[in-house]
Structure 1
């Protein structure tokens, strides 16, 4: 009976590998299910093998365990499917890369250790700080400026540091910044902070060994909105490109199509950041929408989004992708069919591997 209950529980959890999470805590579980699938595969396999030692509910438990095992493998299977065309698609979008022999996804890489690079914390504007990860390659190097997520009201520069360390090991400086948070501060305060951080990095470029002609912005979720808006609406000398991890690109549309209240009160989040409802401050919503500032002179853009994102709809990225296409801007949208918001939590998971590969290829092209 215990085995049967465990098998049914695993089956229910495995549905998160296919369907969108209906509730906040299930969304967090969905990240684990889709980005650490091997753990759940082992649990399902153990449940199946234990059937040799019980009789009651053996068949039902075995069927449930087998279906769960199959569903838990789907992120890996689908990652291989996406990876099979990713090199060619990136080459078509940007330029061929004959030197890159790295595979976009490997099952065994899921078990790789995570490298950490020591960083220093620097004050760049009043009480605001940034974490600076120096490149492992000497000389003046490009700099990636990272903007954290957190619904504009939480999070900090320590968020998801694994990619920062990885980029530093392959030759990029990384500056992960803090910015003023809502509801105490509203748009455009975070954009102003990001611009100030760029100015600080340029001013201290000699000491930090930064190539001031090669800056790239990278933002996640709310941070992606800040990064995109800065890149499109505030042209900066030396800023070469922007990377958007599951960001809200169309704030007007986003307010009209909120997330499930069981997951997040997205309208309240936007109201805290923009100072009111859309009816009260419509211009704020337009002015904070990166998509409104895309034109034929916009920067090259890499967009990464999961189709099962329940916090920021993938429609944001679909709309941005179309606008960039209509404007003739070099760009690429990496869609991950199984992935949810925060899929890059595990750098070695299916979503983490594919997004890191795309980021690395993109950076290599835009910082040449």
Structure 2
């Protein structure tokens, strides 16, 4: 009976690999289930091995366990299927990439790695101090390739009101190893500061790097913006409204692009009060300041001169619906802007926590492919 109960619990957990979470802690568990699948699959195998046919409830437990095992492993199989055509699809979208020949979108062996270990040391510095004494800092990961190198400006998530430049730093180290300077910036947070303050912060960060280009070995003709969640909205808005030719591309992970429409479809309140979050950032509810919601929606500012855009969004995202990516992809297609949406059917918000998970591997490859295409 104990075996059956444990296997039923595992089956319920495995559903998070295919269905959307309905509460905050289930969302966090969904990240673990979908991006560390071998841990859960291994536990299921152990429970299955304790008995197959003999004894009461054994057969029922075995059936339940096999179903759970298949669901736990499903992100791996689906990731493999996407990886088979990812390189070709990105080549069609952006042109040939300058990646190493041994670069592959997905490796089963990497699933056994639980933590990125080859971290690059960073230093924290101030890029601007405003008149009220607010000093904005950034973490700089120097390129591990000599010469003046492109710079990736990373904009963290956190519902515009939290988070910092330390967030998900493994990718920063990896990109530095590949020859990109990476500047993970902090920006002014809501509700004290509201849109468009963070976009102004990006503009000031770029001005700082131009002034100190020789010190940081930055090729100031080649910036790429990368943002996650709220940071994705900021990065996209900056890329589409600053009209800066040195912004060679923008990468967005699961970001809201239509703030007007987004306000009309609030998130599950058991996970996040999205209307309050948006109101704190924009400056009030939509019925009070509708124009500001329009003005901070990247979707309304794309044009033929917009930089190439890489979108990465999971279908099971419960904080920012993947339909934002659908809308942006259609608009960029209409405007003839080079773009690609890496669509991950099993992935939820924050799936890239693990660079070696099914979604983490694909997104890391896509980022590397994109950077090697839009920068020289």
TM-score range normalised by the length of the shorter chain:
over 0.9
TM-score of the pair, normalised by structure 1 = 0.98
The answer as to 2:18 corresponding to 1:10 is: no
Which residues of 2 match residues 169-318 of structure 1 at below 5 A? 169-318=177-326
In structure 1, C-alpha distance between the alignment counterparts of 2:199 and 2:251, rounded to whole Å: 15
State the Cα deviation string for residues 183-204 of structure 1 (Å, max 9, x = none).
1111111111111111111111
SS of equivalent to 1:51: coil
1:258 shift after superposition: 1.2
State the Cα deviation string for residues 126-156 of structure 1 (Å, max 9, x = none).
2211000001101100000000000001100
SS of equivalent to 1:16: helix
Which residues of 2 match residues 111-190 of structure 1 at below 5 A? 111-112=112-113, 114=116, 115-126=118-129, 127-190=135-198
In structure 1, C-alpha distance between the alignment counterparts of 2:26 and 2:352, rounded to whole Å: 17
Find the counterpart in structure 2 of residue 94 from structure 1.
94
SS of equivalent to 1:68: helix
1:238 shift after superposition: 1.5
State the Cα deviation string for residues 77-109 of structure 1 (Å, max 9, x = none).
000111111011011111124853322111111
TM-score of the pair, normalised by structure 2 = 0.96
Of the structure 1 ranges 46-55 and 178-187, higher mean CA displacement relative to structure 2 is found in 46-55
In structure 1, C-alpha distance between the alignment counterparts of 2:145 and 2:280, rounded to whole Å: 42
Find the counterpart in structure 2 of residue 60 from structure 1.
60
> Relative to 1, partners in 2 of residues 1:277 and 1:6: Cα closer, same or farther, differing over 3 Å?
same
In structure 2, C-alpha distance between the alignment counterparts of 1:100 and 1:232, rounded to whole Å: 33
In structure 1, C-alpha distance between the alignment counterparts of 2:148 and 2:16, rounded to whole Å: 45
1:236 shift after superposition: 2.1
In structure 1, C-alpha distance between the alignment counterparts of 2:318 and 2:342, rounded to whole Å: 17
1:237 shift after superposition: 4.0
State the Cα deviation string for residues 243-275 of structure 1 (Å, max 9, x = none).
010100010110011111111111111001011
The answer as to 2:32 corresponding to 1:29 is: no
State the Cα deviation string for residues 209-240 of structure 1 (Å, max 9, x = none).
00001100000000000000000011224111
The answer as to 2:354 corresponding to 1:346 is: yes
Which residues of 2 match residues 65-76 of structure 1 at below 5 A? 65-76=65-76
In structure 2, C-alpha distance between the alignment counterparts of 1:100 and 1:249, rounded to whole Å: 35
In structure 1, C-alpha distance between the alignment counterparts of 2:136 and 2:101, rounded to whole Å: 38
In structure 1, C-alpha distance between the alignment counterparts of 2:101 and 2:372, rounded to whole Å: 10
Find the counterpart in structure 1 of residue 111 from structure 2.
110
Contiguous gaps of at least 5 residues in structure 2: 130-134
In structure 1, C-alpha distance between the alignment counterparts of 2:125 and 2:53, rounded to whole Å: 60
SS of equivalent to 1:263: coil
Contact 2:23 2:270 survives alignment (8 Å): yes
SS of equivalent to 1:70: helix
In structure 1, C-alpha distance between the alignment counterparts of 2:159 and 2:350, rounded to whole Å: 13
1:111 shift after superposition: 2.3
In structure 2, C-alpha distance between the alignment counterparts of 1:52 and 1:226, rounded to whole Å: 53
In structure 1, C-alpha distance between the alignment counterparts of 2:316 and 2:245, rounded to whole Å: 36
SS of equivalent to 2:51: helix
State the Cα deviation string for residues 51-94 of structure 1 (Å, max 9, x = none).
26972321111111111001000000000111111011011111
Shift >2 Å, 4+ stretches = 52-56, 96-101
Find the counterpart in structure 2 of residue 333 from structure 1.
341
State the Cα deviation string for residues 153-192 of structure 1 (Å, max 9, x = none).
1100000001000000010000000011111111111111
In angstroms, what is the RMSD of aligned CA positions? 1.2
In structure 1, C-alpha distance between the alignment counterparts of 2:209 and 2:7, rounded to whole Å: 54
In structure 1, C-alpha distance between the alignment counterparts of 2:101 and 2:263, rounded to whole Å: 41
